[in-house]
Structure 1
Amino acid sequence: MEDLQLQRNASSYATRLDRTLNALRARVKEQESLLEELRASASSSTSIPQTEPSADPKSHLQYLRALKSAYESLAPSLPWLLPRDSLVPGLLALRDTDRVANGSEEAIAKKEVQLKATQQRLEQEQGDLNDAKLMQAEMEGRISTLEEQINERTQQSPSQIAKEMIRAMKKRKQYYDTETGKLVKAFNAFIDDHLATMLAVEELGGPIVGEVPKVDEDMLEGGFSTQGKPKKMKTSEDKRQRRIDQIWGPRPVEDDDAKEPWDEKRAAAAEMRDLTEELLNSLVDAEGHGPGAYVDLQRESAAARFLVRSKVAQFHPRDARKLRLIDFGGEIDD
């Protein structure tokens, strides 16, 4: 039922549109005919004045009288209007509505872009404001603390201030000693659990540290080939021990775990600890700079290469037998 009604409405609209179009065409033809008649009469008659103003006063007066006569003849007549059922007003309104709608869509798209940019700027400004508020709160807290300390010190004698500073220094030293102990313990655990085996593998000709994520300790018994692959044939215990002594040296006399076997893993771990301790001591003794910060290496070990690859230490620019820790607060090279 609804489809039938829509078809009727569409047919009626098409009929009205054709009728309006025909009326407009007829009106155009009528106006064209009148224009042709006017042109013909103007060309054949000499009594009609010129269409352009003339410099001659008599001709100009005749021109004005002709215009007056034309206006007086047209004034009483009603203008031509479209019939009531014409679709032209609706089409004109639809055209204007479509133009306004398109303009509104373009304006909305531009405003959306502007709104997005404004929102991003607002978020950035809000973040900056929050950071400024946090900084203000921290600065106010710091100022308040300093004011309290100044008030306390102004009420204390120099001896009391000195005792308080000594207590604070001892407290900080105790804290740093505790944290240093934790750091050393974690460092030793990292060497024993992860690094020592990989250092031993690299020292024996295998993959470098970090190239293979997981290393089996059984690889250390047979060693590695010139291509860096584990050897399937295991060496005798005496030959293995001679190889360990040749690379890392014999067991240190001050080794606390004398009951444990002196194998490749323990030797690599001991070498890493000794090298790190020596580098730290030399850096402290040289106050972070100068030639005294370098340590003379007996050989280019896997531990030294690992520290250099990790950007923790560096070789001397002109002597690869010297190594030093990088002073992160100073220059990389001397």
Structure 2
Amino acid sequence: MESIPNSRATSAHVARLDRTLKDLQRKVKEQEEALKKLRAAGKPIQEEPDSNKDIQLRQISLIKSAFEALTPVEPYTPLPDSPLPSLLALRTTHGTTSEAKSALIITKNDLSHVEQMLQKETADLEDGRLIESALQTRTSALKDSKEKHVQKPMAQVAKDMIRGLKNKKARYDMDTVTLVKSFNEFIDDHLAVMLAAEELGGPVVGELLVVDQTNLEAGFNAQGKARKTKGQLSEVGRQQRIDEIWKQQPERERRAQEPWNEATAAATEMRELTEQLLNNLVEADGGMNGGYVELDRESAAARFLVRSRVAQFHPKDARRLRLIDFGKDLVS
């Protein structure tokens, strides 16, 4: 039953649209006919004012008469039941909505850009405050130091400075001993077995965190996986392999009767390489072309230092290695 009223409403709406369309077509036709008559009867319209004052006055008078004749005429309005006003309102609303959506997208982009700028400016402001605080602290410390020095004789000031430098050196020496101890413990407890595994064809340092001593004895296959041990490897063959890859046990450690296996050989190589790199860097005094160590071979220790961004190869000679001088920019 509900479909019958809906069908009637649809038919009535279609009829109103049809009447409105015919009315608009009739109005357009009337305007076109009137325009044709004007073009046929009248002279071409002079868009610019004439230079002759009399003709210009007549032009103004004609324009005035035309406006006075058209003013009382009521403008065209659609029929009372015409859907044209609703359609025009719908078109205007749709256009306004589309413009509002476009403006909203632009506003969101502008807001995001402004928020990013605000975050950057906030971070810069915080950095500026930290720098200001550090400068104020430093300035205050320098003033206090200057006042103390002014109150003391020059000889006493020199003694205090020497004492301060000695204290700093002692503190740095203690820190160096602590760092060297931690470095050696890291090599012995973690790094040595992984370096040895990489030298024997195993995984790269860091890929396999737990390497068993039996894996080092058995070796690794071409895919980097540990071989299955079918029997205890002969000690003579094992020592020959260690001597070929690394080198023979140093005389000092041999006299101390310390064990010499794959892990200890890799640890010794790592310590010696880092010591040479440090010594050469100090001797080079921060020079860009100095501090290089000549490598007998490209060892796992050298590759590990390069991967760790601690050392770098010479750009034209991969047999030369040097430490990266992190402090040279600050010193210069």
* TM-score computed with the length of structure 2 as normaliser: 0.64
Measure the CA separation in 2 of the matches of 1:15 and 1:319.
91
Answer yes or no: is 1:193 the counterpart of 2:189.
yes
Measure the CA separation in 1 of the matches of 2:241 and 2:180.
30
Answer yes or no: is 1:210 the counterpart of 2:239.
no
1:294–1:324 Cα contact (<8 Å) kept:
yes
1:122 positional shift: 2.4
Answer yes or no: is 1:159 the counterpart of 2:155.
yes
1:192–1:269 Cα contact (<8 Å) kept:
yes
Structure 1 residues 169 and 109 mapped into 2: Cα distance closer, same or farther (>3 Å)?
same
Structure 1 residues 21 and 166 mapped into 2: Cα distance closer, same or farther (>3 Å)?
same
Structure 1 residues 243 and 149 mapped into 2: Cα distance closer, same or farther (>3 Å)?
same
Answer yes or no: is 1:25 the counterpart of 2:25.
no
1:271–1:303 Cα contact (<8 Å) kept:
no
1:191 positional shift: 1.4
1:296 positional shift: 7.1
Q: CA RMSD in A?
A: 5.1
1:206–1:224 Cα contact (<8 Å) kept:
yes
Measure the CA separation in 1 of the matches of 2:99 and 2:122.
34
Map of 1:122 onto structure 2: 118
Map of 1:236 onto structure 2: 234
Find the partner of 2:179 among 166, 180, 183: 183
Answer yes or no: is 1:97 the counterpart of 2:96.
no
Structure 1 residues 125 and 257 mapped into 2: Cα distance closer, same or farther (>3 Å)?
same
Find the partner of 1:171 among 161, 167, 171: 167
2:88 counterpart SS class: helix
1:234 positional shift: 2.4
- Over the matched positions of the two proteins, sequence identity in percent amounts to 35
Map of 1:112 onto structure 2: 108
Q: Which runs of 5+ in 2 are unaligned?
A: 46-57
Aligned residues, how many? Answer: 303
Q: Kindly provide the amino acid, as one letter, of the partner of residue 252 in structure 2.
A: V
Q: Which of the pair has more CA radius of gyration?
A: 1
Q: Which runs of 5+ in 1 are unaligned?
A: 43-48, 55-60
Map of 2:140 onto structure 1: 144
Alignment of 1:1-334 (within 5 A): 15=12, 18-19=15-16, 22=19, 25=22, 29=26, 50-52=41-43, 82=78, 84-201=80-197, 205-207=200-202, 210=205, 213=208, 214-222=210-218, 230=227, 232-237=230-235, 240=238, 248-250=247-249, 252-253=251-252, 258=257, 261-285=259-283, 287=285, 300=297, 302=299, 305-306=302-303, 309-310=306-307, 312=311, 320=319, 325-326=322-323, 328=325
1:189 positional shift: 0.9
Give a deviation string over 1:132-151, Cα, whole Å, max 9, x none: 22222222322222222223
Q: Kindly provide the amino acid, as one letter, of the partner of residue 181 in structure 2.
A: K
1:241–1:263 Cα contact (<8 Å) kept:
yes
2:198–2:204 Cα contact (<8 Å) kept:
yes
1:172 positional shift: 1.5
